[in-house]
Chains A and B, each alone.
Chain A
């Protein structure tokens, strides 16, 4: 069966450290993978997109890697801040599905404490 698993439901780290979140997928053939941030009571907010032929993408303190051999994406937040506390979702578009339709993981709730 198809699965998207994010490493843990919750991750707690100290301010200033690097947060690393994991997204593993099974039985998908992703054209690309996206990461979103979701705060309580709000819709997800798009952060980064990485294509199947890309290994790494960066945006300010954020870095995403994509390994299609391991079927895994890693999402890093460097120099983390309490304001980074939120739930982070990974999502992918499968080549065999409707163009643009995304499949989401359940998310990892990140808490950054001072």
Chain B
């Protein structure tokens, strides 16, 4: 597609429920990143995919967080047993995977855990 698409744009969920966030990167971008942005905080790295593999998962906050990428394209970030501290904007970005230019970000999914 023309840009990075994320869905849903907003998600309100009850504490303890599982949520799935979706990212559709730019076609041909081999690298895909998930970040989250909490109010007043900088972007916090979560996980990086190169193709379908995740060489760096070090940013995932706990084992309740997982992500996968299939076909070198769409990625889903899953949060199990959501907690209130999971409330944030989850941003996905893609790039060509080389040091040629910047990321292209999606508009994010605003997750609110009540």
Contact = CB atoms under 8 A, between A and B. Distances in A.
B48 A106 contact: no
Given A98-B48, A100-B95, A43 B33 contact: no
Contact of A36 (B40, B55, B102): B102
Interface in A80-114: 89, 91, 93, 98-107
B62 interface: no
Nearest to B91: A43
B45 interface: yes
B114 interface: no
Interface string B19-55: 0000000000001010100001111010010000001
Contacts of B105: 43-45
Given A31-B99, A101-B33, A43 B4 contact: yes
Nearest to A97: B56
A35 to B, nearest CB: 9
A43 B56 contact: no
A34 interface: yes
Nearest to B4: A43
A61 interface: no
A106 B37 CA distance: 10
Given A98-B55, A100-B95, A101-B48, A46 B102 contact: yes
Nearest to A36: B102
Contact of B99 (A43, A93, A105): A93
Contacts of B106: 43
Interface of A: 4, 31-32, 34, 36, 41-47, 49, 51, 89, 91, 93, 98-107
